[in-house]
Structures are given as structure tokens and as C-alpha cells.
Amino acid sequence: MSNRNSEGLVALLLGAAIGVGLGILFAPDKGSETRKKIKDNLDDLKDDLKQKFQSVEEEAKEKFDQTKTDLKSSMDDLLSKSSYKAEEAITYLEQKLAELKQQNAKFQK
């Protein structure tokens, strides 16, 4: 998780805790009503956190998939270049072999 996301998460949790605390202090309702409101606020906070984690998870999956695609593309390019270089080396060696055969034929005469 990035530093920015973790700071936002801490701020969210701190804000919720402060809000619940102030709500309890200034609540004109009965205890049962106050407890219900606290429970509802905590449920909302839980849902918010769940959505936040799902968002971070989706973002991480997208970045992983993009990195995987980039790596595959880089590997394909590298293999293509390597194959081309190997073909060049084989062609060069075949030419040298042909030259050596010609020189050998001259010496045989």
C-alpha cells in the first residue's frame, strides 16, 4: 500500500473515532439509541475500509498485470534480437568456412 493511501486510511480511522467520541459526549438519546448509532457508524466504517482495500487490491492486480505484460514484451524483444544475432554469427561462420575450404582446395592442387 502506498504511503498516501495509508495516511488516508489513518486519517479516516482517526476521524471516525473522534466522531464517535463526540457523538457519545453530546448525545441527547438514550444509551440504547447511542449504542445503535455507534454500531451503525462502525458498520459504515467497516464498509468504507472494505471498499478501500478492494480498490487497493484491484490497483495492485492491474499494476501486476501491466508489469507482467511489459516483461513478456521485453523478453520477446530480447529473444528476437538474440535469434537475429545468432543468425548473423552462423552466416559469418559459414562464409569463413567456405573461404577456408577454397584455400584448402588451392593447397591440395
| Mean pLDDT per 10-residue section of the chain, whose length is 109 residues | 71 82 72 80 88 91 93 88 84 89 82
- Residue 95 is predicted with a pLDDT of 92
- Residue 2 is predicted with a pLDDT of 60
Q: Which residues, at least 6 apart from 42, have a Cβ–Cβ distance to it below 8 Å?
A: 20
- Residue 80 is predicted with a pLDDT of 83
DSSP characters over 18-46:
HHHHHHHHT--S-HHHHHHHHHHHHHHHH
